[in-house]
Amino acid sequence: MNRPAPPPTDDELHALVDGQLAPDRKSEVEETMAHDPAVAERVAAWRSQRDTLRQLHGELLGEPVPAHLMSALDRNAPRQTRQGRWIRWGGMAAGVLVAFAAGWLGNAQWSMQRAGPALLAKAPAMREFVHDASVAHAVYAPEKRHPVEVAAAEQQHLVQWLSKRLDKPLKVPDLASMGYTLVGGRLLPGESGARAQFMFEDAAGERVTLYIGTLDSRAAAGTAASRETAFRFASEGPVPSFYWVDQGFGYAVAGKLPREVLLKLATLAYRDLS
């Protein structure tokens, strides 16, 4: 009598999404997905995340592999394998590598159980920033009469005012394709200076906020002196958020929304602001 196949682990589901799962196990996992909608939904969400990340780097598909990467491979490879590697890699586009890495890293980084808490635990200042963004959303999003200081009708004034206070040119991302329009914004205090919150709302009254602020030296040290952009999911605080760091500034898109919806909104904001 054959034993039933064991349920798939998260590692196996990630391997399936990345096309790295062994063929025999792949058929078993796909059989499980056919009978378990929850598992199938998780895999579909991760595939969507992978595809979204690949689209962010689509412009690189036609570019050659950077010379410094080829040089590093050549230095680290055994002598007898160098010639074969040059032949295999010579005509490959760098975007293919970026897309594969983005898909794998996205699945690892955006998994609530695996990455968010661990990464935030290593960066106290970043954890505080994301928590502040979550709390600010929880405080102001439920407001009916005074959700913002400056309404969307005065968007130009709002952007100029917040840009001056944060000492950084700001802009309002366009989330209309997801059904969200600007409600307005406000100035908030932060650990290392002023912070800004932009609030958006859909036709059903559901709100999402974009929280922006400069980071102190502790957070900067955790992001390669603020030169590297990090894109992460966090479930700490009253509401979840997707956040990233760019040139010394933190950005967090927060809301009581399904993770895949929040991801799409954060991706739109990231594209407009980067």
- Are residues 264 and 229 part of one domain? yes
- Are residues 260 and 126 part of one domain? yes
- Highest-scoring range by mean pLDDT, 4-13, 37-46, 55-64, 131-140: 131-140
- Could you identify the residue written with the tokens 């929040």? 262
- Are residues 129 and 56 part of one domain? no
- Answer yes or no: is pLDDT of 123 > 50: yes
What confidence tier does 258 reach under pLDDT thresholds 50, 70, 90?
very high
Sequence-ordered list of residues with C-beta below 8 angstroms from that of 128, at least 6 positions apart, any chain: 191
- Answer yes or no: is pLDDT of 142 > 70: yes
- Are residues 234 and 98 part of one domain? no
- Answer yes or no: is pLDDT of 176 > 50: yes
- Answer yes or no: is pLDDT of 255 > 90: yes
Q: Which of 109, 139, 173 is the last residue of a domain?
A: 109
CA 181 to chain centre: 21
Q: How much is the pTM? A: 0.57
Residue 3, φ and ψ in degrees, nearest 5: -75, 145
Q: First-to-last CA distance in the chain?
A: 58
- Identify the pLDDT of residue 223: 47
What are the start-end ranges of the H helices in 145-214?
155-166
- Are residues 150 and 80 part of one domain? no
- Identify the pLDDT of residue 138: 95
Domain boundaries, position 198: 116-273
How many residues are listed for the chain in this entry? 274
The DSSP call for residue 64 is B
Residue 245, φ and ψ in degrees, nearest 5: -125, 135
Percent of the chain residues past pLDDT 90, beyond the cut: 40
pLDDT, tens only, 54-111: 665 555 555 666 665 666 556 655 544 544 444 444 444 444 444 444 444 444 444 4
Count Cβ atoms below 10 Å from residue 257 Cβ, excluding itself.
Answer: 19
Q: How many domains does the chain have?
A: 2
- Are residues 136 and 87 part of one domain? no
Q: Could you give the C-alpha distances from 229 to 201, 243, 248, in angstroms and in order? A: 27, 10, 9
- Are residues 266 and 163 part of one domain? yes
- Are residues 239 and 181 part of one domain? yes
Is the pLDDT higher at 50 or at 95? Answer: 50
Choose among 96, 83, 13, 73: nearest CA to 47.
13
- Are residues 267 and 132 part of one domain? yes
- Are residues 64 and 134 part of one domain? no
- Could you identify the residue written with the tokens 């952009």? 229
Residue 235 CA neighbour count, 13 Å, CB half: 12
- Could you identify the residue written with the tokens 């979550």? 134
- Identify the pLDDT of residue 68: 57
CA 196 – CA 166 distance, rounded (Å): 8
- Are residues 216 and 172 part of one domain? yes
